[in-house]
Structure 1
Amino acid sequence: MNIAQRIPQPLETRKLGNGRRKVLALHCTLAHSGAWKGLAGEMDSEIEITATDMFNHGLSPDWDGQGDFQDRMARAAVATLTEPVDVIGHSFGASIAMRVAVLFPELVRSLTMIESVYFAIAGEDKPDLVKQSMNSSAPFYDAMKAGQFELGARLFNGGWGGGVGESWEDMPEHRRAAMIRGVRIVPACSPALLDDIHKLLEPGRLQSLNLPVLLMRGGNTAAVIAAVNDGFAARLPDARNVVVEGAGHMLPISHPAETADHLRQLFAEVPV
């Protein structure tokens, strides 16, 4: 399949690792493709990662505002694929990974969702947790509505960064600028994450996803993330739901060795 000609905005990508097994990796919001360097180092001889830069992140262009952001990301992410791969996503990247698996099942050998923020599924099972999460995020959304993007980036990074890396005050100016650029797309993620506009939660839709799925979260993560993973585990026909103790939301960055161990167990059962 070659859909590159139909992609209005191509994504920048980088290759990481020297292994035989091909992997597509989708980073979290406010990060970039380099977020997978730790995992690639742990699995250098085992996998070759194609790591994308999301729109408004890294070296990819700013999103043009057309269509649904999650859908545009999913289609752009697979534009250069020519063979089946293992797809891994973190946080919002995990929701893109799921959309890739639904849209292009012939290109996905296995799906790994790490700390998925697909809150719509938790909204069905434990709506109070979603309400609590949205209430705690109100200052962030207020800042975004007011066009205070620096404040929005600081609040978002503080809420989801899990204490990984420097504080906002100690962060180099270029890194703060990158986060301010990236945070602008967050409101555009809400229709897919909160409202399930692509109808992935319709009865039978997830149950028909016929591929191995690995769900990962940190033991110290928010309760709503646990509800998301539990919701997927209850609906997907072939899913394993694992917790990495001592880790938070930034699990694949803070705990690459543990992430690699769980991926090895999955890949051992999924032939190339």
Structure 2
Amino acid sequence: MTGIHKRHWPGDKGRPALALHCMMGSAGYWGPISRRLDGRVDLTGFDMPSHGRSGSWVAGSEGPDFHTAVTRIAASFIDRPLDLIGHSLGATVALRIAVAAPEAIRSLTLIEPVLFAAASDAEQEHRDRVISGFLAEGRIEDAARAFIDVWGAQAFDDLPLPARRMMAEQIPLVAEADDTLTNDRANILRDGGLEAIDAPVLIIAGQQSPKVIHGIADALAERLADVGRATVPGAGHMLPLTHPDETAGLIAVSLDRA
């Protein structure tokens, strides 16, 4: 893994915030969100390894897994309590940090957290088997198509060829993160962990997202001390990209609660 590309949207220096993007995304999509927040936070983001302008991820038997590596990178940006915002995979990283260091969190906004270990779901288990099967057979593009057609902003075959090629290169990272997301390898759901988060938490879901997302939100909300819930009408999993007005408005509510 080489350099990590950092992004910064200036705002209130007394209100630092960190935003974490989804699998196969980049920190760039927080730009429109930041503009709508109109400087109320000093927002930082970064492109995860093998995403955006960051260097490639190379898995190693002695190094950390992908989720752990991203968590360590995110934690390196935190030197005082801040507002932590995460989407999809980024939301699970944000939650992992909040469980490990609740004192570092001023507010926590979780957009479509994909911590599948929190809520068993037969449809999601089937999706995992399909993607794993394609990867085992070397059918990389089919695996990417199966993933994006559920979790993307538009169908895989409607994307430009460069985007399809990039996602085919990234799809092994989905399998790399599976043990953390599906089996809770990082022990995010440990007894007392979620309950120790005393900062206000907002969980946001898209109305049209797979039902496992709503099950996860239910399971997490049941254990959090100070939690709000919001559903964006007509939105799917990629709501920060497709519904930036609504997403920014809800993040603002979360900031106000802190």
- Fold conserved between structures, TM > 0.5: yes
- Among residues 191, 208, 216, which one is paired with 2:204 in the alignment? 216
Deviation at residue 162 of structure 1 after TM alignment: 4.2
Deviation at residue 60 of structure 1 after TM alignment: 1.6
Which is further off, 216-225 or 65-74?
65-74
Of all paired residues, the percent bearing the same amino acid is: 34
- The aligned counterpart of 1:12 is 5
Deviation at residue 137 of structure 1 after TM alignment: 4.0
Partner Cα separation in structure 1 for residue 158 and residue 64 of structure 2: 36
- Among residues 21, 27, 31, which one is paired with 1:33 in the alignment? 27
Q: Does 1:97 align with 2:85?
A: no
- The aligned counterpart of 1:126 is none
Partner Cα separation in structure 1 for residue 186 and residue 219 of structure 2: 17
Cα deviation code 1:141-166 (max 9, x no counterpart) = 21122232222222211111143xxx
TM-score normalised to structure 1 length? 0.86
Relative to structure 1, the CA distance from residue 82 to residue 201 in structure 2 (aligned partners, 3 Å threshold; closer, same or farther) is closer
Q: Amino acid of the residue matched to residue 257 of structure 1?
A: D
Deviation at residue 225 of structure 1 after TM alignment: 0.4
- Among residues 42, 65, 72, which one is paired with 2:69 in the alignment? 72
Partner Cα separation in structure 2 for residue 169 and residue 48 of structure 1: 37
Which is further off, 93-102 or 197-206?
197-206
- The aligned counterpart of 2:163 is 175
Cα deviation code 1:227-261 (max 9, x no counterpart) = 00010100011111111111111111111111111
- Among residues 237, 262, 272, which one is paired with 2:225 in the alignment? 237
Q: Does 1:185 align with 2:173?
A: yes
The alignment's C-alpha RMSD in Å is: 1.9
- The aligned counterpart of 1:253 is 241
Specify every segment of 5 or more residues in structure 2 that has no aligned partner in the other structure, as ranges.
Answer: none
Residue pair 1:11, 1:77 contacting (<8 A) in 2 also: no
**Count of aligned pairs between the two proteins:** 254
Residue pair 2:144, 2:168 contacting (<8 A) in 1 also: yes
Q: Amino acid of the residue matched to residue 186 of structure 1?
A: V
Which is further off, 208-217 or 225-234?
208-217
Q: Secondary structure at the match of 1:24?
A: strand
Partner Cα separation in structure 1 for residue 2 and residue 98 of structure 2: 21
- The aligned counterpart of 1:55 is 49
- The aligned counterpart of 2:146 is 155
Residue pair 2:153, 2:242 contacting (<8 A) in 1 also: no
Q: Does 1:118 align with 2:111?
A: no
Q: Amino acid of the residue matched to residue 6 of structure 2?
A: T
Partner Cα separation in structure 2 for residue 135 and residue 159 of structure 1: 12
Q: Secondary structure at the match of 1:268?
A: helix
Residue pair 1:230, 1:241 contacting (<8 A) in 2 also: no
Partner Cα separation in structure 1 for residue 52 and residue 139 of structure 2: 21
TM-score normalised to structure 2 length? 0.91
Cα deviation code 1:185-235 (max 9, x no counterpart) = 111111111111222223222111221111000111111100000101000
